[in-house]
Structure formats: C-alpha cells, structure tokens
Chain A
C-alpha cells in the first residue's frame, strides 16, 4: 500500500441499526485516497438512560449499552488494526447531532459517514430534518451511506462511479474539487445538470437551444477537469424535477453514489439545496455524498 503524506480521518457514526461492519468495509477503498484513520462513534440516546420516576438515572442500562457498543467496536477495530489502520472510538451519552459535530471537530474529521437517521414524523415537524441540520452545522462532507443495493447485494465500491449533480452554484464547485481528490479510486464520474421545466418556458426554440448549449458547455468544462487528472467521465443534461431526475440518472447510468454540494438554508435559489439534499439523503437508494459550501477539509 502506498503511504499517503497526510492521513485522513473518517468518522463512522453507527447506532447499530443501519450501518454495520460490512458498511465500513465497503469504504475501505478510501484508503487509496489517504483515509487510514477510522473513528467510531456510537451515541447512546439520552432517553434510553434518562431518569424514570422512582428509578432515577438508569446507570445499569448505560453500562449495558456502553459495553455492547464496546464489544462491537473492539471486534471491528481488531480487523482494521491488523491492516495497519489507525482506529479510535467514542461511546457517549447525549443527542446524536451535537455529538457528531463535536467529535468531528475534536478529531479533525475529513469525512462523516452516517446512516439515514430520521426523526419521527411529528418531531421532524417542529425540529426539522436531522440530515439537514447536520449539513447546516458542519463544514465536513457527509456521506449518508446506503451500502445495500436494491438488488440486495452490497455496494462494494461506492466511489467507483459517482454521479455528480451540479447546479452551477459555488457549492457545486466545492463538490467538483472534493471529488478530484479521489482520483485513485474513481473509475468514472457521471456529471449531470438537471434543468427545471421553468428553464424552458420561452416560446423561442432558439432560446431554449441556447440554454441547452450553455449547460452542455459547462458540463464539458467540468468533465475536462476530471479528465485532466485521469478520471474518465461522461455528462448528461436532464430536464424535470430535480430529485426524481437525479435518482433516475443514477439508476440508468449505473452510478454507485450520488454527489452534490449543499448550500445551507439561506440560498434558496440554488437547486441542490435543503430539500433536495434531504430527499436524496433520506430517500435515494444510493449512498449520498454531500459537500458543504463552507467545507474545511478537502480530499485533495
């Protein structure tokens, strides 16, 4: 294995519901891009050990949950240590989002890997989506990992053929730069732009064609950036509802993952924002890599 000058850290967040060791194994290709340090995080949610009338704080329950997580992490860590990897672990009691954010900051994490954490409907109504909240509050890229393919097989190499959805925002530019850092593991990038139907509201065919041409040119410029570092690429222009078209494109182009920039809550004009990121992260069958606009750690 080649030695990388800078070891990058991946924070693997698991509640032992969606993400298990095989999910982590599916990301081992990332070692070629310098990810040689894995930090496990398991958060024991406060309400599982909270005070109960007549019982007080459930210390016994906390010890049991801690030790169950510890047994699993030791087993996983042993597998990684013998491969020469560096491993760390946190088992903490609290609320999951603040713990993810504080651990990522404390460890200087380069990539957060998490499952689909969904709040119950009612809670989401007043507290908002956990995924969106995480994206708003972190400057670290987030991979919402779904490692089982619809066929039931494991998505063994999610970074092999990512689909990059661009809306031409600065956040999209971040996503391009971030992906360039994975040139050692990406075989082909499928670059797409989804034009909304409103884009074609003009009654002039020439005008519509000009829009198409402009988007195609921009796609080609992005493709050139990938080709320059030796990554094969193809580009496509889609029309319609953003989320549905991205999902459709990923399926028909044989993508292994969906990648996009996220703009945070304020830039409502941009396409790959809030709702799109949330929908893809929570509903898409593909792993979804979301690059924040204020990214701190770059892969390259």
Chain B
C-alpha cells in the first residue's frame, strides 16, 4: 500500500515537471514554425492555457502535501506545541471541507458543460475536459488536508519542510 502511494507520488511529480517542460518546448517549436515556416499553431495558445491550469492544480495539490503553500506562519509557529497542534488539526479540517465543497461545485460545472456540449473557441475541444482537473485535484487536496489534520491529531510529525523559494 505504502509503495503504491510512493509510486503514485513519483508519477505525479514526474508528470508535473514534464508538463511544464513540454509546454516550454512546444512553445519554442511554435515560435520557430511561425518565423521559419510561416506557419502558426492556432491551437497552441488555448491548449497551453488549459494544460497550464491542469499542471497548476496538480502542483498545488503536491504543494499541500509538502507544505509549500505560502502562509503567514509567524504566529502559528510561535505558540505552544499543543495550540500549534490544535491549529493544524483545525486548518486540515476547515481547508479540507472547503475544498470538498469546491470539488462539488467544480463537478457541477463539469456536468453543466457536458450537458450543453460547450466547446472551446479554437480547438473545438469539449469544455468539460478543460474544467475536469479542477474538481479532481480539489478532491485530492481535500484528502491531503484531512491527512495533515489527522497526522497532527495523532501527534505524528508531518513532513512539513522549510518553505523553499
């Protein structure tokens, strides 16, 4: 079970890095084609935006796991360990629940778009696909927040690292 989760996390991280790198490479190819062969990819701007949103939510969900999101932790790190733990449990509970609600709303948005068959302007891609990462990763983030809360409740040290750049 533990190995499965590690594997999934590795895949997540790899997909994230490769998505951003891949987008950069395609963007460069696109510039070369525009000037070299007088041919521009009409679909790239749109695809870039949607893939970018997918990657952002994927990365944001990993950010929850590693505690890399920007927060004002001056006060919460200077209180006594017990209050700090209580705060962590509460944050996990509140954020997790809010994200569950967001995931539900996002799911509603996907359903509406599926029902009316909206498509994007340039690629004629079904819009529900563009919205899909939102409810999915909000759900994952909710689970990750609940997990952080639970770990704090059980008094286990979460692998929260120093906030990197």
Note whether A and B form a binding pair.
Answer: no
List residues of chain A with CB under 8 Å of any chain B CB.
none
B interface residues (Cβ-Cβ under 8 A, vs A): none
